[in-house]
Structure 1
Amino acid sequence: MIGIFLITHGTLGESLIQCTCHVLNKRPVQIAQLGVSAQDDPLDVLPLARSMLGWVDSGDGVLLLTDIYGATPSNIAAKLIVPGQFELVAGVNLPMLLRVLTYRDRDMPTLLKRAVTGACDGVLHVNPD
């Protein structure tokens, strides 16, 4: 099973996990989050992120999810990428996370595609008609 590791601003990652627990009525296994605050030095956070990555990796790889591409959490996560083993997708939202949890028993290329489509499919204009 592919592990899931969220690196986000503040408490966003934990909030997404809590929402997922509500929807699924349980806490998923092999999932962790690291919240980065404005006061955190990225060089100090990186060793902790590497250690936490190991918490969710059972040997099948880890999908890293972050909120805003180019921001500090994303930059920290980018230093953890090992193509095919530790992959990163930016723009995490609840539909993406739910989709990822549904397809994490598949291979990494499939999971990457499902993560992006899950996020995009979850964004739509709701018309009251």
Structure 2
Amino acid sequence: MKTPFLLACLLLPSLSGCTHDSWRQAFSARVLTVSYDDLGTEAMVSPVLGPRGTDPQIVVRQGATNPQSTPRCLNAHEGLLMLRRNSRNLPRTAENEPLQRRMKSAYDRLYHYYNQRRDAFLAVPAFGGRGSMTMMPPVPPSL
């Protein structure tokens, strides 16, 4: 008779800390939002995401890139590779310096987002939860 009461007393403090928002955040997909203008010039970004348009918001996620969705979606690894390519191809002039800083800031945010997912993925044993999925490739930590 005392065991269920004791068990309820032990579980009650731990359950009170679980709010609706904390449960939703724990089980929802993590996404990152960047601006179209932070990824490079329109000529550099349009082959992957299409023309800029009126909505510059880009949602970065682990899924596939979809330039037709609203808002547009960009794969995190593809975004990192695109930013590295765009940074190398952008001429090093004074007028491009603000764009280079925005691209570096966007790269740092994408790198942190991608690396969190990669670390979580690699923390699971290959014979257990990953199944036959391939390893997520590493990327350099800076432009």
TM-score w.r.t. the length of structure 2 is: 0.24
Please identify the structure whose Cα radius of gyration is greater. Answer: 2
Q: Which gives a bigger RCO, structure 1 or 2 (Cα 8 Å, sep 6+)?
A: 1
More helix by share: 2
More strand by share: 1
TM-score w.r.t. the length of structure 1 is: 0.25
